[in-house]
Amino acid sequence: MNIATLLKRGVLIVRVEGELDMHVADKFRQTIDNALETSGVKHILFNLAAVKFIDSSGLGVILGRYKKINAAGGKVLATNIQPQVVQIFELSGLLKIIKIYNSEAEALECL
């Protein structure tokens, strides 16, 4: 799995490639938390275009970041989610709290 983080217009963009499962969940969480601490941003945008699978560990990391960001008055958004991952988001209830956009640009415009 590869994780890249960048700041754009005060938003932490997290681009993920590979599978988000229990084998990489801790690295995923640490990478995001480190970027949040150093950047001081209020919003996170997950670009999951290259994620073909996510399990409960990966969902848990995303949900944990949602709780942290939401408590600080920020938003968590997602973009470019593959159909099989959208199904998992839907089954887990994440679609009720995280809005999905077609592109990073579209998501950034909504903030």
The domain total for the chain is 1
Q: For residue 1, what pLDDT is reported?
A: 87
Q: Is 28 inside any structural domain?
A: yes
Q: Is 108 inside any structural domain?
A: no
Q: Is 19 a residue whose pLDDT tops 90?
A: yes
Which tens digit of pLDDT belongs to each residue from 82-99? 999 999 999 999 999 999
Domain that holds residue 96: 2-103
Q: Is 111 inside any structural domain?
A: no
Which tens digit of pLDDT belongs to each residue from 21-53? 999 999 999 999 999 999 989 999 999 999 999
This model's pTM is above 0.75: yes
In a 13 Å sphere around the CA of 70, the CA atoms on its Cβ side amount to 10
Rounded to whole angstroms, how far apart are CA atoms 10 and 95? 23
Give the position of tokens 């709780």: 67
Tell me which amino acid residue 97 is.
Answer: I
Residue 16 sits in a domain whose CATH number is 3.30.750.24
